[in-house]
Amino acid sequence: MDNLDHTATLIAWLAFGLAVVFGAVANRVNFCTMGALTDVIHVGDWRRMRMWLLAMAVAIAGVALLDAARLVDFSKTIYTGPRVPWLSSIVGGFLFGFGMTLASGCGSKTLIRLGAGNLKSLVVLIVLAISAYMTLKGLFAVWRVSALDPVHFDTAAIGASHSDLASLVAARFGGSALTRTGVPLMVAAALAAFALGSRDFRASPAMIFGGVVIGAVIVAGWYVSGHLGYVAEDPRTLEEMFIATNSGRAESFSFVAPNAYLLELLMLWSDRSRIVTFGVAGVLGMLVGSAAVALATRTFRWEGFASTEDLVNHIAGGVLMGFGGVTALGCTIGQGLSGISTLALGSVLALLAIVAGCATALKYQYLKVEAA
């Protein structure tokens, strides 16, 4: 038992440290999914989008290598199971993407902005955490479980034991261990080639550095929770376990449900069964990393709401992100990097829906300004 407690503490501190790096780098290079989409749609600037795609490429390649070395079993994640709740992925992803646009950023960007002194982000995070908790265990969970999650398809019907791309390819065309590693590496290479194919992006070393480091942090997160935190036999239950993860499975970074678990931890602090998990430590680390850079570069500024309409938009965005992020099993980081690094079908659907939701909200905001 003492050894398990020691490992749980180690997992939390490692997650915190990695998230500090994430938050610091993301603040410095202005890593933001909503911002990247806004740049593409409004001004045709693809540099931040290419940085995000480069981070994806690094994360996908890293996961493929961890899997090939059998350091982490990615079949034991919330993403790659054969049961794909496609309606939840699409509806949740779309609402999250719409909400993050109203709230001026996704869960990770909201943490980064809060670390730099943005009090609007504090309101968004509180609302997001409440909404996410309601979607995990409260009123919203009833709607999610009864109306959305039951609508699914099972990849076992086509002979695939898991829903990641390599398993689907192997089930359809046949394959071997080489297929399992080769397919994701080819996808990673294609993404990296596209990202680095732009002269403007190649002339932005800070963005290249940001994409590589953030992708590597996602891979390191998988190693920490899925390898260092893996126990083949829990002495209390005699079952395998992943120490200090809220899902009970291997995890990397995500910033919706962990905000809800941080809120729960703060409210139930005297309950000794509650601990700082991988996800909770990641939330705290993002804040610290961003704040450190903001203070060091003298960019820390207190910022509040400009109007009542601004407040309403951010509250609505927080509600939609909380519900959508939990329903879709992740945010732009939880699905857009951690989930997509496994090339799970549900993650692809959620990511496309997030992009669609963001694009729709941007169009809505543009038409609203035009009509004013």
Place of tokens 């504090």: 122
**369 pLDDT band (50/70/90 cuts)?**
confident
In the 8-state DSSP scheme, what is residue 344? Answer: B
Place of tokens 């669609």: 356
| The pLDDT value given to residue 332 | 97
- The tens digit of pLDDT for each residue in 199-232 reads 999 999 999 999 999 999 999 999 999 999 999 8
121-144 mean pLDDT = 98
Q: Output the average pLDDT for the chain.
A: 95
Tokens of 140: 């919203």
**5 pLDDT band (50/70/90 cuts)?**
confident
Q: Is the pTM of this model over 0.85?
A: yes
| The pLDDT value given to residue 215 | 98
**1 pLDDT band (50/70/90 cuts)?**
low
Torsions phi, psi for 77 (to 5 deg): -130, 170
Under 8 Å between Cβ of 169 and 362: no
Tokens of 323: 């519900």
Torsions phi, psi for 371 (to 5 deg): -80, -20
311: amino acid identity, one letter: L
Q: Where are the beta strands (DSSP E) in the chain?
A: 83-84, 153-154, 230-231, 241-242
At how many degrees (to 10) do helices 257-267 and 278-296 cross? 100
Say how far apart CA 139 and CA 124 lie, in whole Å: 20
Say how far apart CA 207 and CA 53 lie, in whole Å: 11
Under 8 Å between Cβ of 275 and 11: no
Give CA 61 to chain center in angstroms: 17
At how many degrees (to 10) do helices 47-68 and 205-223 cross? 30
